[in-house]
Amino acid sequence: MKLHPMEDRIVVRPAESEERTASGLVIPDTAKEKPQQGEVLAVGPGRRAEASGEIIPLDVKVGDRVVYSKYGGTEISVDGEDLLILSSRDVLAKVEK
C-alpha cells in the first residue's frame, strides 16, 4: 500500500525513540513536550494560495529528515508500520546529518 498525501501534507516515518536507555528502562515523559524527528516518505503537491489559487510547492522532499511538532499529525498504520500524516506547516526544521 502506498500513500499519496493531499495538498501540503507529508508522510513521515518517526525516528526510533531514544527515550529508552541502554539498559532498557523507559524514561518517563517530562512535563514539557519535545518535538519529534522522522524521515519524509511522501509529499503532497502543495496547497493552493488563498488569493491566487496557485499551488505553492513544498519545501521538504522525500528523504528529508525533519523535526516536527508532536501535536500536528495523524497516526496511520501502513503494512504494519506506524506512520504519520502531517501538514508541512507542522514541520519546524530540516535536519542535516
Q: For binding to a copy of itself (CB under 8 A), which residues are involved?
A: 1-7, 9, 11, 32, 34-35, 42, 44-45, 48-54, 56, 59-60, 67, 69, 74-77, 85, 88-89, 91-97
How does strand 81-87 pair with strand 74-78? antiparallel
In angstroms, give the least distance from the CB of 84 to a copy of itself.
10
Q: How many CB atoms lie within 10 A of CB 16?
A: 9
In angstroms, give the least distance from the CB of 35 to a copy of itself.
5
Closer residue to a copy of itself, CB minimum distance, 24 or 79? 79
In angstroms, give the least distance from the CB of 92 to a copy of itself.
5
Tell me the residue type at 85.
I
In angstroms, give the least distance from the CB of 39 to a copy of itself.
14
Closer residue to a copy of itself, CB minimum distance, 35 or 39? 35
- On the 0-12 / 13-18 / 19+ scale of CB atoms within 10 A, 29 is exposed
Half-sphere exposure of 35 (CA within 13 A, CB side): 14
Nearest C-alpha neighbor of 38 from the set 83, 88, 76, 89: 83
